[in-house]
Amino acid sequence: MIYTLQDINAKEYEGSLIFLYGDECAERNLPLGRKEVESVKRKVESGKNFVCGFDRLPERLYFVKFDSERPSAEVQEGLRRQAVEVLKMMEKDGIKTVALSGEGTLPEEMIAFVEGLTLADYSFDRFCSKERFHVDELKINAVYCTQEELDFQQRLWNRIFWCREWVNLPVADLNATQFAEELQSVAEGFKNVKCTVMDKRKIESLRMGGLLAVNKGSVDEPRFVVLEYTPSNLKNQNNPIVLVGKGIMYDTGGLNIKPDDYMQEMKSDMAGAATMASVVFAAADNALPVHVVALLPLTDNRPGFNAYAADDILTMYDGTTVEVVNTDAEGRLILADAIAYAVKNYNPRVIIDAATLTGAAVRAISTFGIAAMQQNAEKELEMLKIVGNEVYERLVEFPMWKEYDELIKSDFADLRNCGSTPQAGTITAGKFLAHFAKEVPYVHLDIAGVAYFTKAQHYFRTGASGYGIRLLYAYLQMQ
């Protein structure tokens, strides 16, 4: 989609137009004829939010009425969702170029609508022989933002696009080595992003027992990728924010192989890594003055060769020994090595991980938000909750009570990689990871319910969502 800024007089504009109508205003300010005004009045009487279309043959007018009196975050989210309705109408009408203006509409409300239209317009097309509908050009009334502000938003949306592309790609087209090469290629486009790719030999020398164990069943080598963004105007030089992303390129469950259709969509098990890489690149794109490091352990989890097995005891990067109870609890093993690496090498101000970690998180809160936990990071998690509510990528905090430690104690090693009971699966996974953060402030984000949708949800079509990028980007903006 091409975005342009133009001076648009909605009443005189001759092309197809989307018109946002927020605060009540005089009828003469609306780009409507008499009969259209009467139609809008009838709809307003039945509800404050609606979308309707009017023929302006051969063009169309899409009239979006929204309730501007609600809390700002709800208003903006409502506009994102109304953008989906407009997009469906445009597809039906075959309208690919459209202008956007409004009345009684704030700049941030206009941008929220554009964001919803942008996110909804994405689909994973590269393997489709039939061309799908997409908006070609969106002309935005220049009174609502500057070119600089629009470019700023576009760069963020572009990173969400590429995150979704990476997550949607099957492992046959994007394995650990290929993803590492892709990340290195992107990083080369920035003078202030350093990409270090560690191969299997280097990982062995570091004794990352979790990452190496999970990789034992795969023909593809693992990679450990470090992305470090160091702006010239950074504020936190000695204490970077470290982002850790789960990079299981495909998860069969290993020898504890997944049953039935549970293996479907397991190409998305690297969404945490794709998310964290995208956040770093977005920060670099817009020159945020924050020192950020992303640590991305990458491998697939297969049942082949000399695959690791239940009852194995692993020695992790920091020397902790772990009894393997279930090979399908592999994500926490590779994350643990990365978190321990962060503690030892970066003196982080905070470690934040993102992972499609547990089905228990989905069962607990469904597909409407992120299950979050913290250790020594009350302030950081509270800030993430605040910005999560603002961008509508919301967090639900789970407890990290000391009693849960009992569930991951092992009779044969320091820890077991699964809880001793089927209850509290999301929390015991977080507790396991918190062990490796030691005293460093640590936030765990389980994005299992929101990283990939098996059916369209609001402004996300089927497939990868990029959920979490706007959350973490907004968090970095507040530093």
Decide if pLDDT at 107 tops 90.
yes
Asked if 68 and 104 count as a contact pair (C-beta separation under 8 A), the reply is: yes
Structural domains for the chain: 2-145 (3.40.220.10), 170-477 (3.40.630.10)
DSSP 460: B
pLDDT score recorded for residue 48: 76
> What predicted TM-score, i.e. pTM, was given to this entire model?
0.96
Hey, what amino acid is at 288?
A: L
Decide if pLDDT at 72 tops 80.
yes
Average pLDDT over residues 263-268: 93
From 39-43, 224-228, 411-415, the region with the lowest mean pLDDT: 39-43
Decide if pLDDT at 47 tops 80.
no
Q: Which residues have C-beta within 8 Å of that of residue 115, sequence separation ≥ 6? A: 80, 83, 153, 157
In which band, very low, low, confident or very high, does the pLDDT at 410 lie, cut at 50, 70 and 90?
very high
User: pLDDT digits over 112-167, tens only?
Assistant: 999 999 999 999 999 999 999 999 999 999 999 999 999 999 999 999 999 999 99
Decide if pLDDT at 41 tops 90.
no
Percent of the chain with pLDDT over 70: 99
In which band, very low, low, confident or very high, does the pLDDT at 111 lie, cut at 50, 70 and 90?
very high
Average pLDDT across the chain, whole number: 95
In which band, very low, low, confident or very high, does the pLDDT at 204 lie, cut at 50, 70 and 90?
very high
Rounded Cα–Cα distance for residues 154 and 148 (Å): 10
Asked if 275 and 222 count as a contact pair (C-beta separation under 8 A), the reply is: no
More confident residue, 37 or 366: 366
Asked if 316 and 281 count as a contact pair (C-beta separation under 8 A), the reply is: no
Q: Count CB-CB contacts under 10 A for residue 88.
A: 13
CA nearest neighbour of 29 among 49, 43, 10, 47:
10
Residue carrying the six token digits 């967090």:
395
pLDDT score recorded for residue 30: 87
In which band, very low, low, confident or very high, does the pLDDT at 236 lie, cut at 50, 70 and 90?
low
Residue ranges in 94-220 assigned as alpha helix (H): 107-121, 147-168, 176-187, 200-206, 209-215
Rounded Cα–Cα distance for residues 476 and 425 (Å): 29
Q: Count CB-CB contacts under 10 A for residue 26.
A: 7
Asked if 13 and 99 count as a contact pair (C-beta separation under 8 A), the reply is: yes
Decide if pLDDT at 25 tops 90.
no
HEC string of 57-85 equals: CCEEEEEEECCCCCCHHHHHHHHHHHHHH
Decide if pLDDT at 340 tops 70.
yes
Residues with a known catalytic role? 258, 332
pLDDT score recorded for residue 8: 94
pLDDT score recorded for residue 26: 63
